[in-house]
Amino acid sequence: MVPEYPFMDIGRVLAEVHVCGRVQGVFFRQFTKNTAQELGIAGYARNLPDGCVQVVAEGPKDSVEILLQRLRAGPPMSHVDSLEVEWKQASGEFTGFVIRR
């Protein structure tokens, strides 16, 4: 289930996502990029020092919600233990989706 957020009337949203579990070294960032591009979402994914992955996703509300559902499942070799989402107002600063190092 996708958490509620305060921007219900705005067509575009930004989600800052913290994904933990077996998410590094299992194609998770590339999976995220491929899925985001398929859904027309801009932003980035990057590995964090704590072994988690940070995803910043900006786009249409419905598309971001689909991305979150797919991130919970992840690619075949991954295992998501937790996915925390912080909803923010879209900034428009992203032009595509990239993997950050």
Asked about 12 being catalytic, the answer comes back as: no
Q: Which residues are bridge partners to 47 per DSSP?
A: 53
- Helices 61-73 and 28-39, packing angle to 10 deg: 150
Asked about 22 being catalytic, the answer comes back as: no
**Judging by DSSP bridges, how do beta strands 97-100 and 53-60 pair with one another?**
unpaired
Q: Please tell me which residue in 22, 34, 47, 70 is annotated as part of the active site.
A: 47
Check: CB of residue 68 under 8 Å from CB of residue 59: no
Return d(Cα 50, Cα 58) in angstroms, integer.
Answer: 24
Q: Please tell me which residue in 22, 29, 100, 101 is annotated as part of the active site.
A: 29
The residues that are catalytic are: 29, 47
